[in-house]
Structure 1
Amino acid sequence: MGIPKRIKTTSGQHSLVDGIPFQLPVQCTPSPVLMAVFPINADKAKAALPSEVHPLRMRNNKGLLVVAVINYLGTNIGKYIEYSIGIACTHGLKPAPPLLPLALMNTFGTGQYVLELPVSTKISVKGGKGIWGMPKHQGNLDFKIGDKSVSSQYDLDGQLVTYIEIARPSFSFLPLWNIPAVNYCAFRGMLMKSSIYIKGRAGVKLFKFAKAKLVLGDHPRADILKTLDIENQPLMTAFIPGVVGTLDDHIESWFLHQAEPPLTAPEGFESVIDLPLDETWPPQPSAPIVGEIFGNFNR
């Protein structure tokens, strides 16, 4: 496992895609990440997923909601925050057995299906969506590291969408050696699969030791999350003070399909083709942190 030899071989080479110039590999400088994983209702999660994507099932009909926020301090296209909300999943014609996909990730296409992916800059939207099919859009984001906690707020149109806060682990000692993580996204009527390789040292808390708070605001983009029966006790929280993420340049895609002809056209290249290479951030989020609250952490 680890970064493919092809990516290492092309290191230092230059690319120009959709008007975006960058040097390979597509990688970030060491940047802080927070993560929280909450149990959800697997059957209700399935209703939020497209064809051939299935919730990764634990025992007792439990699925997993994954919230991960990274404050990119430096990338090929500048600095920005990325706020990811996804459902842990498998890919294939049939659902996978419970738990087994955690051990046999390649066999079952284990990854996460990304529901929400706001970022700080338009150039990140243009590259992430246009090249990798990620459902990026610009939002009001922050990333705060305190002595006791790490948090991030996501606003849009002046309203709170989500707020996540975790208790900061005392130590970050768990080594991550270019561990692959798979993202599935829907764009252009296609299911897009991309991979990132994660390197760093993580502070991790599991089960009853994991402390986190997730607030879902009144913005319509939070509505789908409110259908998932999110539980209060997170399964895991993690903080990585300085992760290095390397994006794979290999992308896979499949046609999305359903029993009846689609009534509306899916989002396509028209949503990104005219976006500028703009690294300007919108204002910091300022909406009150009120709404449905899940979790077990109060400062």
Structure 2
Amino acid sequence: MAHHLIQGRLVTMPVRVREATACVATYLVRADAARAVIAYSGLDITEVLPGRAACTLTFVRYTESDLGSYAEFGVSFLVRPPGAARVRGGGALAGLADVRRVGTGAFVHWLPVDQAFTMEAGRGIWGFPKELADIDLRLDSPYKRCVLRRDGRLVLDLLVKPGFPVPVARTAAPLDAYADLGGVIRRTPWSMSPRGVRARPGGALIRLGNHPIAKELSELGLPKHALMTATIAKLSMTIGEATQATQVTQT
């Protein structure tokens, strides 16, 4: 069993999140624009439709976890696993079949948090691009809202509208998270158990500020209608040990 010493505190792997509340807004964006945003990683975007990529904005309130209580915001993209060749052409059906065959993972592009301990743990244990930010989460009403500021500048103001109850598996399929910190690509396995899930097509209102991340999002085409939104009333997660991943090979 692996252990990590963070700020004089021992963190035992895997890390467990026992209770959290999460909100998600997923957008279809131009694949070429998404590739430009994450070009530094060398990873390749998964085209969920020809020429289109999935960009997901997530905000979470961690109530009880091995890393304490904190707020988090994330910008992520679906990507091909490192080492998977990129297949070009073939039309929509061929593209979707290729996604299923090759598989996919979530590349964490930016992950601000509001507490120093989880920032250091996230960077040191998994190589996640965590940094401190001012995250104002308003989760007590059916309309969930996140106002995010970094260095005194507004990044975004994101509102997620109420959705409809949807049945979900007690334990969702595990997903690999990838991150690039200091030029090193790491893969982190994680799984989650969601309860109280509500979802809907669209359902997001977003206002961008003048921070560089806001500029990146605008270059992806935001603000625009979300493909879908979801809220999770109670979420538990297990986050495994990170391993260094092999760089992607493209053909």
Amino acid at match of 1:213: L
Aligned with 1:63 (options 53, 58, 64): 53
d(CA) in 2 for partners of 1:58, 1:249? 28
Amino acid in structure 1 at the alignment position of 2:78: A
TM-score (norm 1): 0.72
Contact 1:190–1:255, Cα closer than 8 Å, also in 2: no
**Cα offset for 1:166?**
1.0
Conserved? CA contact 1:119–1:125, under 8 Å: yes
Match for residue 46 of structure 1?
Answer: 35
Which of 68, 78, 89 is matched with 1:78 structurally? 68
Match of 2:128 among 109, 130, 134: 134
Using the alignment, how far apart are the partners of 1:192 and 1:250 within structure 2?
A: 6
Residue 95, structure 1, aligned to residue 86, structure 2: yes
Secondary structure, in 3 states, of the residue corresponding to 1:63?
A: strand
- Which sections of structure 2, spanning at least 5 residues, go unmatched? 88-93
The TM-score, its normalising length taken from structure 2, stands at 0.85
Distance 2:85 2:66 in 1: 38
* Letter paired with 2:85: K
Sort the Cα spacing of 1:78 and 1:234 in 2 relative to 1 into closer, same or farther, 3 A.
Answer: same
Could you say which residue in structure 1 is the equivalent of 2:178?
Answer: 184
- The answer (yes or no) to whether the contact 1:166–1:213 under 8 Å persists in 2 is yes
Residue type at the aligned position of 2:46:
L
Match of 1:17 in 2: 5
Q: How does 1:199-218 map to 2 (within 5 A)?
A: 199-206=193-200, 209-218=201-210
Q: Structure 2 residue aligned with 1:235, among 214, 217, 227? A: 227
Alignment check: 8 A CA contact 2:57 2:76 kept: yes
Compute the displacement of 1:58 (Å).
2.7
| Aligned sequence identity (%) | 21
Given that residues 172 and 239 in structure 1 are in contact (C-alpha distance below 8 angstroms), is that contact kept between their aligned partners in structure 2?
Answer: no
Distance 2:11 2:209 in 1: 36
In 2, Cα distance between the equivalents of 1:195 and 1:242?
20
Instruction: Answer yes or no: is the 8 Å Cα contact 1:39–1:230 preserved in 2.
Output: no
**Structure 2 counterpart of 1:30, from 19, 24, 36:** 19
Structure 2 contact 13–241 (Cα < 8 Å) conserved: no
Structure 1 segments (4+ residues) deviating >4 Å: none
> Per the alignment, in what secondary structure is the counterpart of residue 221 of structure 2?
coil
- Among 245, 248, 251, the alignment partner of 1:253 is 245
Tell whether the 8 Å contact from 1:174 to 1:204 is kept in structure 2 after alignment: no
Cα-to-partner distance string for 1:266-298 (whole Å, 9 max, x where unaligned)? xxxxxxxxxxxxxxxxxxxxxxxxxxxxxxxxx
Q: Which shows bigger deviation, 183-192 or 239-248?
A: 183-192
Query: For the residues of structure 2 that align with 1:150 and 1:233, how far apart are their CA atoms?
Result: 17
* 1:253 partner letter: A
Matches within 5 A, 1:269-280: none
- The structure number with the bigger radius of gyration is 1
Provide the rounded CA distance (Å) in 2 between the counterparts of 1:75 and 1:212.
28
- How far apart are the structure 2 equivalents of 1:220 and 1:144? 24
Where structure 1 has 5 or more consecutive residues not aligned to the other structure, the ranges are 1-9, 258-299
Contact preservation (8 Å) 2:164, 2:198 = no
Please give the secondary structure, in 2, of the residue aligned with 1:129: helix
Match of 2:142 in 1: 148
| Structure 1 pair 148–76 and aligned structure 2 pair: CA distance change class (3 A) | closer
Q: Could you tell me which residue of structure 2 aligns to residue 276 of structure 1?
A: none
* Matches for 1:157-176 after TM superposition, within 5 Å: 157-171=151-165, 173-176=167-170
Task: Quote the offset at 1:250 in angstroms.
Answer: 4.2
Q: Secondary structure at the match of 1:177?
A: coil
Contact 2:162 2:198 in 1 (8 A): no
